[in-house]
Structure 1
Amino acid sequence: MERESMEFDIVIVGAGPAGLSSAIRAAQQAAKNHQELTICVIEKGSEVGAHILSGGVMEPGALEELIPDWQNKVAPLNQPVTAEATYLLRSETSATRLPDMLTPKTMHNQGNYIVSLANLCRWLAEQAEALGVEIFPGFAAAEILYNDDGSVGGVITGDMGVAADGSEKDSYIPGMALKAKYTLFAEGSRGHLGKALISQFELDKDKTAQHYAIGFKEIWQIPPEQHQAGLVIHCAGWPLNDAAGGGYLYHAENNQVLVGLIVDLNYQNPYLSPFDEFQRLKHHPLFASYLTGGERIAYGARAITKGGYHALPQMAFPGGCLIGCNAGTLNFSKIKGIHTAIKSGIVAADTIVEQLSRNTDINFCTHFNQTFKNSDLCKELYKARNFGPALHKFGNLVGGAFNTIEQNLLNGNSPFTIKDTKADFSNMKTATNYSPINYPKPDNKLSFDKLSSVYLANTSHDEDQPCHLQLKDKQIPITVNLPEYAEPAQRYCPAGVYEIVNNEQHQPELQINAANCVHCKTCDIKDPSQNIRWFVPEGGSGPNYPNM
Structure 2
Amino acid sequence: MQREAMEFDVLIVGGGPAGLASAIRLKQLAAEAGQEVSVCLIEKGSEIGAHILSGAVMDPRAIGELFPNWKDEGAPLNAAVSEDRFLVLSENGARQVPNMLLPDCFQNHGNYVISLGNVCRWLGQQAEALGVEVYAGFAGAEVLFDENGAVMGVATGDMGRLKDGSEGPNFQLGMELHAKYTFFAEGCRGHLGKQLQEKFDLNAGRDPQVYGIGLKELWEIAPEQHQQGLVIHTGGWPLNPDTYGGGFLYHLENNQVTIGYVVGLGYENPYLSPYEEFQRFKTHPEIRRFLAGGKRIAYGARAIAAGGLQSLPKLTFPGGVLVGDDAGFLNASRIKGSHCAIKSGSLAAEACFEALAGERQRDELTAFPQKFEQSWLYDELYRARNFKPWMAKGLHLGGLMFGIDQLVFRGKAPWTLHHSGPDHAKLKKAADCQPIAYPKPDGVVSFDRLSSVFLSNTNHEEDQPCHLTLKDAAVPIRVNLADYDAPEQRYCPAGVYEIVRDESGQNPRLQINAQNCVHCKTCDIKDPTQNIVWVVPQGGEGPNYPNM
Give me the TM-score of the superposition, normalised by structure 2: 0.98
Q: Conserved in 2, the CA contact under 8 Å of 1:105 and 1:404?
A: no
Matching residue of 1:532: 532
Write the distance in 2 (CA, Å) between the matches of 1:120 and 1:230.
Answer: 17
Matching residue of 2:455: 456
SS of corresponding position for 1:540: coil
SS of corresponding position for 2:428: coil
Q: Conserved in 1, the CA contact under 8 Å of 2:318 and 2:362?
A: no
Matching residue of 1:335: 335
Aligned AA (2:430): A
Matches within 5 A, 1:191-340: 191-241=190-240, 243-340=243-340
Answering whether residue 479 of structure 2 is matched by residue 480 of structure 1, we say: yes
Q: Conserved in 1, the CA contact under 8 Å of 2:141 and 2:157?
A: yes
Write the distance in 1 (CA, Å) between the matches of 2:95 and 2:366.
Answer: 49
SS of corresponding position for 1:547: coil
Q: Conserved in 1, the CA contact under 8 Å of 2:21 and 2:123?
A: yes
Q: Conserved in 1, the CA contact under 8 Å of 2:84 and 2:99?
A: no
Aligned AA (2:352): I
Give, in angstroms, the shift of residue 417 of structure 1: 1.2
Gap regions ≥5 residues in structure 1: none
Give, in angstroms, the shift of residue 102 of structure 1: 2.7
Matching residue of 1:438: 437
Report the number of matched residues. Answer: 546
Matching residue of 2:181: 182
Q: Per-residue CA shift, 1:446-474, capped at 9, x if unaligned?
A: 10000000000000000010000000000
Write the distance in 2 (CA, Å) between the matches of 1:146 and 1:245.
Answer: 40
Aligned AA (2:247): G
Write the distance in 2 (CA, Å) between the matches of 1:360 and 1:486.
Answer: 53
Aligned AA (2:517): C
Write the distance in 1 (CA, Å) between the matches of 2:409 and 2:284.
Answer: 35
Matching residue of 1:406: 405
Write the distance in 1 (CA, Å) between the matches of 2:359 and 2:352.
Answer: 11
Give me the TM-score of the superposition, normalised by structure 1: 0.98
Matching residue of 2:142: 143
Answering whether residue 80 of structure 2 is matched by residue 80 of structure 1, we say: yes
Matching residue of 1:499: 498
Write the distance in 1 (CA, Å) between the matches of 2:529 and 2:68.
Answer: 48
Give, in angstroms, the shift of residue 376 of structure 1: 1.6
SS of corresponding position for 1:364: coil
Write the distance in 2 (CA, Å) between the matches of 1:446 and 1:296.
Answer: 8
Q: Conserved in 1, the CA contact under 8 Å of 2:355 and 2:365?
A: no
Q: Conserved in 1, the CA contact under 8 Å of 2:389 and 2:419?
A: yes
**In angstroms, what is the RMSD of aligned CA positions?**
1.3
Q: Conserved in 2, the CA contact under 8 Å of 1:104 and 1:405?
A: no
Write the distance in 2 (CA, Å) between the matches of 1:361 and 1:201.
Answer: 18
Write the distance in 2 (CA, Å) between the matches of 1:379 and 1:351.
Answer: 19
Matching residue of 1:115: 114
SS of corresponding position for 1:257: strand
Matches within 5 A, 1:502-517: 502-503=501-502, 506-517=506-517
Write the distance in 2 (CA, Å) between the matches of 1:196 and 1:283.
Answer: 41
Write the distance in 2 (CA, Å) between the matches of 1:367 and 1:421.
Answer: 31
Change (3 A) 1:244 1:416: same
SS of corresponding position for 2:394: helix
Give, in angstroms, the shift of residue 49 of structure 1: 0.4
SS of corresponding position for 2:366: helix
Give, in angstroms, the shift of residue 33 of structure 1: 1.1
Matches within 5 A, 1:60-79: 60-79=60-79
SS of corresponding position for 1:416: coil
Matching residue of 1:388: 388
Q: Conserved in 1, the CA contact under 8 Å of 2:319 and 2:363?
A: no
Give, in angstroms, the shift of residue 435 of structure 1: 2.6
Give, in angstroms, the shift of residue 172 of structure 1: 0.6
SS of corresponding position for 1:3: coil
Percent of matched pairs sharing the same residue: 58
SS of corresponding position for 1:183: strand
Q: Per-residue CA shift, 1:267-300, capped at 9, x if unaligned?
A: 0000000000000000001100101111101000
Matches within 5 A, 1:22-41: 22-41=22-41
Give, in angstroms, the shift of residue 127 of structure 1: 0.3
Q: Per-residue CA shift, 1:373-417, capped at 9, x if unaligned?
A: 21221121111111111111x211121122222222322111111
Matching residue of 2:541: 541
Q: Which moved more, 1:354-363 or 1:531-540?
A: 354-363
Write the distance in 2 (CA, Å) between the matches of 1:366 and 1:44.
Answer: 28
Gap regions ≥5 residues in structure 2: none
Write the distance in 2 (CA, Å) between the matches of 1:334 and 1:437.
Answer: 30
SS of corresponding position for 1:216: strand
Write the distance in 1 (CA, Å) between the matches of 2:68 and 2:372.
Answer: 22
Write the distance in 1 (CA, Å) between the matches of 2:130 and 2:403.
Answer: 43
Q: Conserved in 2, the CA contact under 8 Å of 1:503 and 1:509?
A: no
Give, in angstroms, the shift of residue 360 of structure 1: 8.3
Write the distance in 2 (CA, Å) between the matches of 1:418 and 1:248.
Answer: 26
Give, in angstroms, the shift of residue 105 of structure 1: 1.1
